[in-house]
Every structure is written in C-alpha cells, then in structure tokens.
Chain A
Amino acid sequence: MTPELIIAIIVTVVGASTPILIAALGELVVEKAGVLNLGVEGMMLVGAITAFVIVFVTGNHYLAILLAAAAGVATSLIFGFLTLSLSANQTATGLALTIFGTGFSALAGQGYSAKPVTLLGPLFPSGAADSVWRVLFGYSALVYFALIMVVAIWWFLKKTRAGLILRAVGENDLSAHSIGYSVVGVRYLAVMFGGAMAGIAGACFPLLLTPQWAERMTAGRGWIAVALVVFASWKPFRLLAGAYLFGLVMTMELYAKAGGGPLSAIPSELWAALPYLGTIVVLVLISIRRDASTNAPACLGKPFLPSN
C-alpha cells in the first residue's frame, strides 16, 4: 500500500462515518432522555432531500445544512407530539416516522434524480496538496461538526446541570417530575435535538458523499446509527469509535468493488451486506459483555404517565 492510498482510505472512512456519527449522537441524547425514536432513517431522508433541493436551487451548502436540520426538527415533532403529548407507542410511532420519511422524500425528490449538485468542499482548502495536512484538515465542515459534537455532548451530559436533568428524566421520570422538572418538556427538547442531528446527518449524503438525489439514499444508515447507540452503551466517545469502524467496513466495500487485490475475490454483494451483518455481530458481542444492557436509561421507551 502506498502512502497516497492509505491517505485516500482514511479520508473516505472519515467521510463515510460522519452521517452515522451525527445521527447516532442525536439519538444518544434522545435515548438518554428516556425516549426511543426509531424514526432516525426517516428523518435522515427528509434532511437529505431538503439539503439536496436547497443546494440545487441556491447553491448554498450551509443554508442547505441549516434547513435540513430544521426539516429534521419538524419531522421529529410529529413523533414528539404523538409519543409525548398523546403517549402513543414509541416503537410503532418511530416505525411510522421512517415509513413517512421514506415516502415523503421520494415524493419531494420526484424529478430531481440524475440532477447533479456540487459537494461541500474542504473547510481549509489551501493546503490540500500536502498528504499529512489533508488527513487532518482536508475535510468539510460537517466532519469537524461531528467531532465537535462528540465532545460537546459528552461535556453536556457529564458536566452540566441541564445534562444532569436530562439524564434524570431518562433514568427516573417520576422522581424528576416530583422535584419539579418538566419531563415532557425535556423530552420534547431532546427529540427536537435528535431531529436536527438526523436532518444534518441526512444532508451529509447529497453534500458530502454522492452529489445527487436517489430515493432511499441513506440505505439503512439511520438504523445502523440506532444500533450504534446500543453498541456504544450510550457513551459519546465509544460512539465515535463505532462509527469509524463502520466507515472502515463500508470503505472496504468500495475498494473491493473497484477491483484489484484479495478483497475483490469476495462477491460485491457480500461486501454490501457486511455493514448490516457487522451490526448484528457487534450487537451480539456487546450483549455478551455485561455492562451494556445495564447502562441503558431505565425509562427508555416507556411512556410517561404521572397521573396514574
């Protein structure tokens, strides 16, 4: 392997990992508040089509990211209203949100397929020729945003009072309620944050990975993000490691398909299935370790019913 190839692989891995990382970070905060939103894939698709259309029409990538986040929040509010205000079943509502996002994005994207946009360029474009410089500084703003959010969310959950309240709401909603915190209010904020992150994660697909619109272009990455939260046992830095591991697997698929070397001896379909099979393997490994299941927020997925 030449140094150039290694650098190219690292850059691709970081790019492929970023949307999963951003979506998973959002879902981590949602789950820490005791809510299980399985609609990540749907919110990502809404974010992806929003970002694509905005960048196609205006050419402004940052406006596209911002509005993708807003679209993600709007979509998450459907989930929030049903599960938090009407205490509907979270699992069923999350599934419905994914079905909705898939259909809505396909409908809104009708007529946009095969129309190209430009990718979001590196944040520091000048020194891109130098290889080492490129590994550290050659990425778009979305990549740095994801990395900053890892630290920010860790700090928020561990070190701030608001983070403590959020965790309290997820661990023991009745106690949090009885000492005067608004359980539903905190959960709404968390769900909206998860929606914004999922929207931005969706924006990564047309802005960072493939500069066009294709139906279902997130291809299950939202579900992998949900699985990663379990894998990371609700810890931001483990989430970072997990997302980069998945980025590596997906990049190997690309290089195997491009041909050459021992990797191409394996059918390309097996490579394509590997992220999903890998997710299952990872979930199995994590369940064998003891602390994973005990670390789940105690109220995860349960509706909050203070009056009963």
Chain B
Amino acid sequence: MQFRLEKRREPSQFMIYATPVAAVVLTMVVGAIIFSLIGYDGIGAVREIFLTPLTNSFKWQDLGVKAAPLIIIGVGLSIAYRANVWNIGAEGQYVMGGLAATGVALATYTMTGWWILPLMMLAGLAGGAAYAAIPAFLKTRLGVNEILTSLMLTYASVQLIYYLVRAPWKDPMGMGFPQTRRFAADALLPNIVPGTILHLGVPIAIIVALVAWFIMSRSVFGYQMKVVGAAPHAARYGGFSENKTIWLALLVSGGLAGFAGALEVSGPFQRMVPGFPTNYGFTAIIVAFLGRLNPLGVIFAGIVMAITFVGGEVAQTTIGLSSSATGVFQAMMLFFLLAFDILVRYRIKRVVPTAEARA
C-alpha cells in the first residue's frame, strides 16, 4: 500500500484546530513510552505531569500563576511570528521589564501611593519594548538577523541582573545574599483571592489575550501583521511598509514580555533575584505555536504549558523525575505540532495502482 500527499486547495480548518490537540495527546503517549524505556514509571510520569495539576484543586492556583506570564508573552510572540518577525529574545525582554519595574520599586521605596504599581507596569512595558527596539533598529537599518541579536541580548540581560543584585541594588540588610530588598507594600501586586497565591496578573493575562485577539482580527494593524507575514510582496503593493511592521512586531512583543516581567517581579518574586530568568520567554515560543499564533489559542496553550510546569514539579517530588523532563515534554509537543502541520496543507491519499501501471 502506498500513500502520497495531495495539496489542499485551502488550509484545512479542521486540522488547524485538531493538530494541536493531537500533538498534546501524542506527546503523552510517546512520553510514557520513552520514560518507561529509560527506567521511569512512564505512565506514572505522564499522569503526574499532565493530570495531577488538573485533578488536584490545590494546584489550580499554581496553574493560573504560571500560565499568566506565558500567555502574556505568548500573545506578543504570536503577533510577531504572524508578521514573520522571529523575536526569540522574549526572555531577555522579560528580564529587562522586570529590571525596569525593580528600578521604579527601589526608587520609590520610601514613598507610598497608588501610582507606584502602575508606574512599575509602564516601566516594565517600556523596558521590554526598548530592549526589543535594538533588534528592530538593527534589522530595519542594517538588515541584521533579529533571531541572533534578540537571543544574544538575552544572555547579556542575565549578566545585567547579576551585576545589579551583586553591587548597586544589593539589599543592605540581605546578609550578603545577591538580591534586592523586598519591595514596599505599594509596589506589590495585590492578590485577587485571599488565602491563595492568585494575583492580579492572572485576569490581566486573559484580558491581554482578548484585546489582542480583537485587535488582530478586527483592525488594520492585525491585517497588516498577517499580510506582511503571509505575502510580503502583496503587502508592499498594498502600501504596508515592511520596516514599520518589523518595528511594531518587536515593540509589541517586547513590550508584552517586559510587562510580564514587571508582573512577575511585583507578584510572585516581590524582589529581584538572580533566579528571575525562569525560561518563560523561551517556553512562550512553544505557547505561541501551540496556540496557532492566535491570541485565543494562546490562552489554552499557556494553560497546557503551565500544566506541564506544575506537573513537572509534582513529578519531581512524587517520583523523583528531574524538573528538566518538563522541557523534553514541551519540545516534543512542538515537534509533533510541526510534523502535523503538513496535514493542514496536504491530505494523505492512498495510491491505488492503475491498470496501466500494473501491466
């Protein structure tokens, strides 16, 4: 029996939605097999990573807290990738947003006022956007590849944290720990449900995704992003400037990553520490793809990825599986999704040998 691929006239809408689900399911199956082969309880590992976070209601708040930054960064990246702008330095932009917010929190340490927190959020937005402006400038002016510049800047931003928390921003009362002082009360993100760790960033993430969906599907901006990404030549005839699109894509994705950084530093972290870079910026790349570069899809993909994070921690304590196993599951999901993408554009046809061919 032979198969061949036949190009569809239009991308299959069914496959666009079905393939991410299939990718998650297949990851669970193959993950269980692989982890069994290397000597773990494979089915147990998959159950702990993918199901325990959902069935254990204590873990729901963790899911919200982990999903929020992934969704916010993932929304920004999905807009950029739609425009074919490959910002992979979201981790660095997240760090710079966190640092900018930290700067505001430390400068206003002795002050009080409702305005401090919004100012920190704005600083985070500006910090991330400014950091993403470097690749945007280099790309539009000199044609330097944004993949490499945005990634190199990530490595540099991590060193900037180390420098700041070891020297100028070091907590004077920190007993030598390289970290800043804990932020004052007005610089902390409020909780929305007393007695839980759910903070204001969680509903904000959903709102960001909804607003982005509306803008992407209903505005000229969204149309421009999609046209430049899908058909650059047509976009040029249509009067959309490619350079302007590159700038917008990087500023929006960088700004959102920086905003996520500001939320994290004022929420879960409450101070700047060397462990602030938590790979959210890289994981959000998978979130963007798994969400089909659609802000609404990104909400679900962010939750799926948060499940694997929380489940990875569960599996670490219950069955001693390294937390890095999470990364393997996440990468596998992206592999399967990319592999299945062929089904969106092609259909598999069984080749029936014709009479002439047989003769």
Contacts and interface: CB of A to CB of B under 8 A. Distances in A.
Contacts of B148: 223, 226-227, 230, 279-280, 283
A136 to B, nearest CB: 33
B144 A92 contact: no
A93 interface: yes
Interface string A65-82: 000000000000010011
- In this complex, which of A89, A107, A284 has the most chain B Cβ atoms within 10 angstroms of its Cβ? A107
Given A88-B341, A230-B145, A277-B152, A78 B322 contact: no
Interface stretch (A1-9, A95-103, A172-180, A199-207): A95-103
B339 A269 contact: no
B142 A284 contact: yes
A288 B144 CA distance: 9
B331 A99 contact: yes
Contacts of B191: none
A259 B328 CA distance: 40
A214 interface: no
Interface residues of A, number: 46
Interface string A283-302: 11001100001000000000
B204 interface: no
B86 A91 contact: yes
Interface in B120-159: 134, 138, 142-145, 147-149, 151-153, 155-156, 159
Interface stretch (B46-54, B234-242, B281-289): B281-289
A280 B152 contact: yes
A270 interface: yes
Interface in B309-325: 322, 324-325
A171 interface: no
B160 interface: yes
A215 B156 contact: no
Contact of A93 (B144, B147, B338): B338
Given A273-B159, A287-B142, A103 B327 contact: yes
Nearest to A230: B145
B269 interface: no
B330 interface: yes
Given A269-B160, A276-B153, A283-B148, A102 B339 contact: no
A107 B325 contact: yes
B350 interface: no
A267 interface: yes
B16 interface: no
B223 interface: no
A110 to B, nearest CB: 4
Contacts of A92: 289, 334, 338
A245 B345 CA distance: 45
Contacts of B338: 82, 86, 88-89, 92-93, 96
B21 interface: no
A110 B35 CA distance: 14
B244 interface: no
Contacts, number: 128
Contacts of B324: 102-103, 106-107, 110, 215
Given A99-B330, A103-B324, A280-B149, A293 B143 contact: yes
Contact of A38 (B142, B147, B332): B147
Interface in B255-314: 282, 285-286, 289
B88 interface: yes
A56 interface: no
Nearest to B156: A273
Nearest to B135: A280
A297 to B, nearest CB: 14
B167 interface: yes
A86 B331 contact: no
A223 B154 CA distance: 12
Contacts of A104: 327-328, 331
B292 to A, nearest CB: 12
B339 to A, nearest CB: 5
Interface of A: 38, 78, 81-82, 86-89, 91-93, 95-97, 99-100, 102-104, 106-107, 110, 215, 219-220, 223-224, 226-227, 230, 267, 269-270, 272-273, 276-277, 279-280, 283-284, 287-288, 293, 307-308
Interface of B: 7, 86, 88, 134, 138, 142-145, 147-149, 151-153, 155-156, 159-160, 162-163, 166-167, 282, 285-286, 289, 322, 324-332, 334-335, 338-339, 341-342
Given A100-B331, A103-B325, A224-B152, 4 more contacts: A92-B334, A102-B327, A270-B159, A284-B144
14 contacts: A81-B339, A86-B339, A88-B339, A99-B327, A99-B334, A100-B331, A103-B326, A107-B328, A269-B159, A269-B166, A273-B156, A283-B145, A287-B144, A293-B143
Give the 10 A-B CB pairs with smallest separation, nearest first: A103-B327, A106-B324, A100-B331, A269-B163, A273-B159, A88-B338, A96-B334, A276-B152, A103-B328, A110-B322
